[in-house]
Amino acid sequence: AGLGGVAGASSPCEKACNPRMGNLAHGRALQTETFCGRNATEPFCTYTEDAQQRCKHPSCSQCSRAHAGLAHPPAAMADSPFRLPRTWWQAAQDARHETIRLDLEATFYFTHLIMVFKSPRPAAMVLERSQDFGKTWKPYKYFAANCSATFGLEDDVRQRGAICTSRYSSPFPCTGGEVIFRALSPPYAVEDPYSAEAQAQLKITNLRVRLLERQGCPCLPAPRSPQPTPSLHFAIYDFIVKGSCFCNGHADHCIPVAGFKPVKAAGVFHVVHGKCMCKHNTAGSHCQHCAPLYNDQPWQAADGKTGAPRECQSCKCNGHADTCHFDMDAWLASGNRSGGVCDNCQHNTEGQHCQRCKLGFYRDLRKPFSAPDACKPCSCHPLGSAVLPLGPRTFCDPSTGDCPCKPGVAGPRCDRCLPGYWGFGAYGCRPCDCARSCDPHTGDCHSSSSDVTWHNEAPPFQAVLNESDPTWSWEDEQGFSALRHSGKCECKEQVLGNPKVFCGMKYTYVIKTKILSAHDKGSHAEVNVKIKKVLKSTKLKILRGKRTLYPESWTNRGCTCPILNPGLEYLVAGHEDVRTGRLIVNMKSFVHQWKSALGRKVLEILKRDCN
């Protein structure tokens, strides 16, 4: 399929498409080295032949630049061949060689050339093209009556695909002879006109024809007529350069290149322009790259063989970026599915797809993530919030807005003491020295639970976040090390000693858990945790996720042992209360801040020694 096989100007360009073709010489100035009558009037005669190749009566005239009816400038080759078929360009009589050159303002697709000569066709000439605005030139085709003698080349009449031909170098007919060249003729025939091979052959910025050897009309003299004097000059009726705007199969219409003003020519109404009006989410003068927000996959030219448009795909920026760029590393890492990286994420978002809130902001789950105000600034209390190791600032959980609190501090903003703690300040809150609770400001013990205003938090709002492996994980990095405080009883550091002693405690559950918050309910205490790993469970079904632990010793004995500081991870071994379905923590429980080595050792003891 050639360029004519893909969608034309009337197509909506749903598939591969190409702007309409036309004569690239229309609206542009053809340049030659000479033209007759430039400096003075030149007489000339031309001969034509009859069917027996006998000379007809000569036709003589004059050529003068000063008289419109006698002028034969280069522009006459580029006027309408249908409305003005008998106008022509003629070289000066003394021009033994000539060059006709067409300079284009942009890169165009060139498909074929048609030249109609008024004089006999040249005995030798060469067609050349440039793809870099005239800096370098490369031959398309050599033309000669004898390719071997003139250029030292094979003739394509005898060797198919040779770069020289003798087909168009005969002097007959002495007028009206044609020269035709097709850019995709063998050996350059390709099925896809937008392939790299086709582009290398079809793209041009300049075209020139070098006329190297004149020849007269070798007609036979008529009976009783003198031998005609040869009239040697180059003369051409039409110079038709067929081609189109070059758009890689992504446009069906083109507009003028900035600054280009067409040259007016008689009878010419359609000019082929050079700037594409791109479709398929492409951009550029030749639709040679993807539009600003459509770089999720590598740009490709359309497929002219199958008609596949190969559209550029949009980047997934959640409405928070205006542009994106293609990144090969991201493309390969995704398994060749997505390589778009969003540029300059707005609305306090960040990430490859602007898919998460920046540090210092959190997701407002009441709004879609594409909303411009979906990321709210953290509102952590400057005294009660802990500083993370990422810098001198306090950041909240980007998914909930909860702040990392100092020891003994509670609340989403870390603005008050936990129940059982008092003295809110720069170092957090201190544990009450009481059997139950105390005044959060003075530390004075309450005589009964009815005097206490209990801290009750609303259940966390659950939602599925548009997250993909953030570079910084709230779960993994907490910005403080909790101080170990003791209440009325001493909290001894627990050590994992003899495995038989550990097994002898007959723990019914062993878990790795993160402490979220602690609450004194008066009659009992509750610690909200997130279970990350279940090493052992007996009768109760324990799943990973949020759960409540019930520390008996915190209220029954007036202790804050074992210590469970919010924000830290612990290995907890304790007993299940099957009747109530609760996980109990008391002074007999094994509680130790989590370490990977500790977890492996306990798991080994459970498997090897406790069965």
117-135: per-residue pLDDT in tens? 999 999 999 999 999 999 9
List CB contacts of 51: < 8 A, sequence separation 6 or more.
Answer: none
Whole-number average pLDDT of the chain: 84
DSSP track, 70-87: G---GGGGGS-TTTSTT-
Beta-bridge partners for 207: 102, 129
| SS3 call for 556 | helix
Phi, psi of 333 (to 5 degrees): -65, -25
Asked which of 55-69, 382-396, 587-601 is least confident by mean pLDDT, the reply is 382-396
Q: Who has greater pLDDT, 280 or 384?
A: 280
Phi, psi of 237 (to 5 degrees): -75, -55
- pLDDT for residue 230 is more than 80: no
> DSSP letter at 323?
-
pLDDT band at 36 (very low <50, low <70, confident <90, very high): very high
Q: Which of the given ranges, 34-38, 105-109, 429-433, 554-558, has the highest pLDDT on average?
A: 105-109
| Dist. CA 100–CA 253, nearest whole Å | 29
pLDDT at 466: 37
List CB contacts of 371: < 8 A, sequence separation 6 or more.
Answer: 319, 364
Neighbours of 543 (CB within 10 A): 9
Mean pLDDT across 171-176: 92
Task: Write the CA distances from 595 to 425, 499, 600, integer angstroms.
Answer: 30, 18, 9
Mean pLDDT across 514-539: 84
pLDDT band at 450 (very low <50, low <70, confident <90, very high): very low
Homologous superfamily assigned to 3-276: Galactose-binding domain-like (2.60.120.260)
pLDDT band at 359 (very low <50, low <70, confident <90, very high): confident
Query: Which tokens in the block code for residue 166?
Result: 């003798």
pLDDT band at 24 (very low <50, low <70, confident <90, very high): very high
Q: What are the counts of helices (DSSP H) followed by strands (DSSP E) for the chain?
A: 6, 32
Q: Given the DSSP bridges, would you call strands 569-577 and 59-63 parallel, antiparallel or unpaired? A: unpaired
pLDDT band at 360 (very low <50, low <70, confident <90, very high): confident
Q: Whose CA is closest to 200, among 276, 99, 129, 268?
A: 129
Mean pLDDT across 579-591: 87
State the span(s) of the chain assigned CATH 2.60.120.260.
Answer: 3-276
| Dist. CA 577–CA 548, nearest whole Å | 13
- pLDDT for residue 144 is more than 90: yes
Residue type, 529: V
Q: Who has greater pLDDT, 434 or 8?
A: 434
pLDDT band at 577 (very low <50, low <70, confident <90, very high): confident
In this structure, which long-range contacts are made by residues 492-496, counting pairs with CB atoms below 8 Å and at least 24 apart in sequence?
494/562, 494/590, 494/591, 494/592, 496/590, 496/592, 496/598, 496/601, 496/602, 496/605
Q: Which of the given ranges, 86-90, 208-212, 333-337, 421-425, has the highest pLDDT on average?
A: 208-212
The CATH class of the 499-608 domain is mainly beta
pLDDT band at 265 (very low <50, low <70, confident <90, very high): confident
pTM strictly above 0.75: no
Kindly compute the dihedral angle of the four CA atoms of residues 498, 551, 519, 406, in this order, to the nearest 10 degrees. Answer: -20
Mean pLDDT across 508-516: 92
Phi, psi of 599 (to 5 degrees): -60, -40
- Contact criterion met (CB below 8 Å) for 500 and 425: no
Mean pLDDT across 274-280: 96
Q: Whose CA is closest to 473, among 397, 402, 411?
A: 397
- Contact criterion met (CB below 8 Å) for 560 and 486: yes
State the span(s) of the chain assigned CATH 2.40.50.120.
Answer: 499-608
| Dist. CA 566–CA 101, nearest whole Å | 82
